[in-house]
């Protein structure tokens, strides 16, 4: 067999560089940086340091080379959202270097642990990369800048106040003398500032706010970007893994002899343990050999107690639970139940949404090498910190000796923050006597072992007065499996995921009650874009639409009136501004052809544990054919930017991504449980949006508030489903209270 992998010497050099984390006197050839001709400013293997022997560290976040190249270290994970570029910009904004000379690499996760979490936080979740990262990233850039300035000042015997800097060139104003960053970096590295400088405020930004081309794009057009599934290390074995089809089941038996002698097969082994679904893996000299052997292996499973569970049963039980006593109260104002009992105009609706899968393009995988003293892991992870801690627990190797090499992620959406891929990979590698192994899950395995967006059921009841304004509003939600943990953002046992988005009604109602029940199943759940909000946002924005239509009011104008009347809501006017913008841009209320409708939705991604918001409104223009086929023609999005967006280009792309994800979920995606297991398997039964199904997406940025927004990673998707379904109602008169749309008969009467 002919192989072309990394030579052992290359591998050793790489490992040392990663272990050291900073300039080590090892010079890397140009070959390290793939596609150099197209000037990629990141290595195809982003965990590798780009450090050359003359790179100088000016603080742990950046290095400067004699030719003024600046290498900035990134603590967050790139999955297409442009976080590498945004984080680099936040540092460079303060550094005042030449942006065209900026390169980026991932931080060393190992160094992060060795140096007392020097890189602050390595999770990429919760729309937090800018919101939480900006203060310390700006500080890192400002600090380095002042050290460089101090170095120049020292060289000239001049006062700092006599110096200016632009694009990495320092000028002594009185004399016109100049020094480049590359010339003073060595001196700057040894300088300690008596006082840390203040960071810029948004009005002072010059680099942030500008649309900036994404640094990782050149790697993704020539095959050089390394995703976890692409990792190759010397001596590597391959494994195909299969976990218990019924969650929480166990391996009963399997006949390893049946496959042991197949070509290339190395071994058959089991995995399991704490937070690791039990299963079997075939290890071989290639993935194909491993996979075909695994397919030929008959495994008997002990299905445990959930072998007959179904999502149909869960939905039935959730409906029943709507009337269960003892609901936990979140918000109560006045006596809405009393008002509802006596009211003449009551609108009531029950809503249901299914489990959803992330359907990442890159199937799940993990490459790991476990020896008694050291663990190396290569994978794309949204939480390398948690991954490292998990590996330490499984292997007993101390954190200081664990090296997590983060890759590009072929889709995350929250799915790559659960670490189940990592734990399983390490548990398998641990059994291979120090040999590295790349574990790959087939597409079917990836689909059937997700951590799904939870299904949810709700009932909304409102009483309207003669003027159409709500007198009472009772929201009850039945949640399933909301208690998953999310790294540093929350701890289990907290129901916040279930109630976010509904805990404070933005719309006026004289009396108000929001309560819930939480139920559990054996289905593993996790953060899907916007975590606990997409369900609630569909519910709320559909219900307020129903209220409007029940009294013949235009849904845009009705929302406006309810916001205007809600004097307790400090952001009502800001919401109205964004709502007006989207209504204007979309041509709301214009005459549409038969079978076409427009629907509107708005929200601000509110969470109980966060004060920042992102106001976003969407109008969907939808056509429904006589045969009941829905086509989303266009999505108009108006989004508040607050005082700045780090990269408007990245924000636009987020809107496109969340549009695609939201449209696919609304039109035809669901995860169904039957006999305790997921039924969907591949892109035939869990379809992705096809090219022709993509709507036109028009994004308008609006300045509606003065505080930095919460983020953009999850703040658009919630309004896609209700806007589409409200549009379907406008086009057909059929009200959609459950998703996906494919389960509804929309043929013209």
Partner 1 sequence: MLSIRVNKKTYRVDVEPETPLLWVIRDTIGLTGTKYSCGLGLCGACTVHLNGKAIRSCLTPVSQAAGQEITTIEGLSADSQHPTQIAWREGDVPECGYCQSGQIMAAAALLSRNSTPTDADIDREITNLCRCGTYARIRQGIHRAAQIAAGR
Contact residues toward partner 1 (CB under 8 A) are: 1-5, 35, 37-38, 79-81, 213-214, 216-227, 229-230, 232, 238, 263, 286-288, 359-363, 408-412, 440, 442-443, 649, 653, 656-661, 682-684, 688-692, 694, 696-697
Residue (263 or 398) nearer to partner 1, CB? 263
**Least distance to partner 1 from the beta carbon of 596, Å?**
21
- Tell me how far apart the alpha carbons of residues 165 and 145 are, in angstroms, rounded to a whole number: 9
DSSP code at position 439: E
Residue (330 or 661) nearer to partner 1, CB? 661
**Least distance to partner 1 from the beta carbon of 345, Å?**
41
**Least distance to partner 1 from the beta carbon of 263, Å?**
7
Alpha carbons within 13 A on the beta-carbon side of 104 = 26
Q: Please say whether the dihedral angle defined by the alpha carbons of residues 211, 212, 213 and 215, taken in this order, is positive or negative.
A: negative
**Least distance to partner 1 from the beta carbon of 48, Å?**
15
**Least distance to partner 1 from the beta carbon of 664, Å?**
8
Q: Please say whether the dihedral angle defined by the alpha carbons of residues 85, 87, 90 and 93, taken in this order, is positive or negative.
A: negative
Distances (CA, A) of 162 to 137, 165, 196: 26, 10, 19
- DSSP for 708-723, please give it: PPS-SSSSSGGGHHHH
**Least distance to partner 1 from the beta carbon of 691, Å?**
5
What backbone phi and psi angles, to 5 degrees, belong to 299?
Answer: -115, 130
**Least distance to partner 1 from the beta carbon of 437, Å?**
13
Residue (114 or 653) nearer to partner 1, CB? 653
**Is-contact 437 428, C-beta < 8 A?**
yes
Residue (544 or 660) nearer to partner 1, CB? 660
Residue (146 or 362) nearer to partner 1, CB? 362
Residue (230 or 537) nearer to partner 1, CB? 230
| End-to-end Cα distance, the chain | 64
Residue (230 or 277) nearer to partner 1, CB? 230
- Tell me how far apart the alpha carbons of residues 366 and 404 are, in angstroms, rounded to a whole number: 11
Specify the pairing of strand 328-333 against strand 250-254.
unpaired
**Least distance to partner 1 from the beta carbon of 662, Å?**
9
Identify the H or E element spanning 349.
strand 346-353
**Least distance to partner 1 from the beta carbon of 509, Å?**
36
Provide the 3-class DSSP secondary structure of residue 693: helix
Residue (251 or 724) nearer to partner 1, CB? 724
Residue (26 or 694) nearer to partner 1, CB? 694
Q: Which residues touch 338 (CB under 8 Å, ≥6 apart)? A: none
Closest by Cα among 32, 362, 34, 41 to 222: 34
- Tell me how far apart the alpha carbons of residues 291 and 227 are, in angstroms, rounded to a whole number: 20
What are the start-end ranges of the E strands in 65-183? Answer: 70-74, 102-106, 163-166, 169-172, 177-180
**Least distance to partner 1 from the beta carbon of 410, Å?**
3
**Least distance to partner 1 from the beta carbon of 360, Å?**
7
Question: Residue 733, exposed/middle/buried by CB under 10 A (0-12, 13-18, 19+)?
Answer: exposed
Residue (236 or 375) nearer to partner 1, CB? 236
Residue (359 or 394) nearer to partner 1, CB? 359
Distances (CA, A) of 363 to 272, 451, 579, 681: 20, 14, 39, 12
**Is-contact 110 119, C-beta < 8 A?**
no
**Is-contact 254 293, C-beta < 8 A?**
no
Residue (446 or 641) nearer to partner 1, CB? 446
**Least distance to partner 1 from the beta carbon of 490, Å?**
26
- Rg of the chain taking only CA atoms, in angstroms: 28
Provide the 3-class DSSP secondary structure of residue 46: coil
Other CB atoms closer than 10 Å to residue 375's CB: what's the count? 25
Identify the H or E element spanning 259.
helix 257-260
């Amino acid at each position: 067999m002919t192989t072309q992998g990394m030579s052992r010497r290359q591998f050793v050099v790489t490992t040392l560089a990663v272990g050291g984390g900073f300039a080590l006197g090892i010079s890397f050839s140009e070959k390290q940086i793939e596609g150099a001709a197209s000037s990629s400013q990141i290595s195809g293997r982003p965990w590798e340091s780009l450090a050359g022997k003359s790179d100088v560290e000016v603080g742990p976040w950046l290095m400067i080379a004699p030719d003024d190249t600046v290498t900035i270290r990134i603590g967050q994970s790139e999955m297409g959202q442009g976080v590498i570029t945004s984080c680099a910009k936040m540092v460079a904004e303060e550094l005042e270097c030449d942006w065209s000379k900026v390169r980026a690499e991932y931080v060393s996760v190992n160094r992060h642990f060795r140096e007392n979490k020097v890189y602050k936080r390595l999770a990429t979740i919760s729309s937090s990369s800018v919101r939480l990262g900006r203060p310390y990233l700006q500080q890192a850039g400002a600090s380095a800048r002042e050290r460089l300035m101090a170095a120049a000042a020292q060289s000239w015997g001049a006062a700092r106040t006599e110096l200016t800097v632009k694009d990495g060139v320092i000028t002594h104003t009185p004399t016109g003398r100049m020094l480049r960053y590359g010339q003073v970096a060595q001196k700057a590295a040894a300088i300690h500032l008596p006082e840390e400088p203040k960071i810029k405020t948004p009005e002072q930004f010059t680099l942030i706010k500008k649309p900036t081309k994404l640094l990782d794009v050149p790697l993704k057009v020539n095959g050089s970007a390394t995703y976890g599934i692409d990792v190759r290390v010397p001596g590597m074995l391959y494994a195909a893994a299969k976990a218990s089809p019924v969650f929480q089941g166990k391996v009963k038996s399997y006949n390893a002899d049946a496959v042991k002698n197949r070509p290339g097969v190395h071994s058959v082994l089991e995995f399991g343990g704490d937070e690791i679904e039990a299963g079997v893996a075939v290890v071989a000299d290639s993935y194909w050999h491993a996979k075909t052997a695994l397919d030929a292996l008959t495994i008997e499973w002990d299905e445990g107690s959930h072998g007959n569970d179904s999502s149909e049963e869960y939905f039935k039980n959730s409906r029943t639970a709507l009337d269960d006593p003892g609901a936990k109260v979140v918000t109560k104002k006045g006596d809405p139940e009393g008002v509802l009992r006596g009211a003449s105009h009551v609108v009531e609706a029950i809503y249901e949404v299914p489990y959803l899968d992330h359907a990442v393009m890159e199937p799940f995988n993990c490459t790991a090498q476990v020896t008694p003293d050291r663990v190396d892991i290569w994978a794309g992870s949204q939480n390398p910190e948690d991954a490292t801690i998990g590996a330490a627990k499984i292997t007993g190797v101390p954190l200081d000796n664990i090296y997590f090499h983060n890759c590009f992620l072929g889709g995350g959406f929250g799915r790559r923050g659960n670490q189940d891929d990592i734990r399983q990979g390490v548990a398998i590698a641990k059994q291979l006597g120090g040999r590295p192994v790349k574990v790959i899950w087939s597409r079917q395995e990836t689909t059937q072992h997700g951590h799904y967006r939870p299904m949810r059921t709700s009932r909304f009841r409102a009483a309207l007065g003669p003027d159409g304004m709500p007198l009472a509003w009772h929201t009850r939600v039945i949640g399933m499996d909301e208690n998953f943990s999310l790294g540093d953002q929350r701890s289990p046992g907290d129901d916040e995921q279930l109630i976010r988005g509904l805990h404070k009604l933005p719309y006026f109602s004289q009396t108000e009650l929001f309560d819930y029940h939480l139920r559990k199943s054996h289905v593993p759940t996790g953060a899907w874009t916007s975590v606990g909000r997409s369900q609630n946002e569909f519910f709320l924005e559909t219900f307020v639409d129903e209220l409007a239509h029940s009294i013949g009011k235009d849904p845009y104008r009705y929302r406006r009136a309810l916001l205007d009347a809600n004097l307790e809501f400090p952001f009502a006017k800001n919401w109205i501004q964004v709502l007006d913008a989207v209504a204007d841009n979309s041509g709301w209320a214009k005459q549409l052809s038969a079978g076409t409708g427009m629907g509107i939705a708005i929200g601000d991604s509110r969470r109980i544990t966060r004060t920042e918001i992102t106001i976003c409104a969407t109008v969907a223009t939808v056509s429904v054919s006589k045969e009941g086929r829905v086509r989303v023609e266009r999505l108009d999005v108006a989004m508040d930017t607050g005082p700045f967006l780090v990269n408007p280009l990245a924000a636009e792309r987020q809107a496109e991504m969340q549009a695609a994800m939201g449209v696919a979920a609304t039109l035809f995606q669901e995860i169904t449980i039957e006999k305790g297991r997921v039924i969907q398997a591949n892109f035939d039964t869990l379809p992705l949006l096809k090219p022709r199904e993509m709507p036109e997406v028009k994004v308008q940025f609006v300045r509606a508030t003065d505080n930095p927004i919460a983020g953009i990673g999850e703040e658009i998707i919630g309004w896609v489903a209700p806007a589409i379904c409200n549009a379907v109602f406008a086009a057909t008169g059929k009200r959609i209270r459950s998703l996906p749309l494919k389960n509804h008969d929309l043929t013209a009467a």
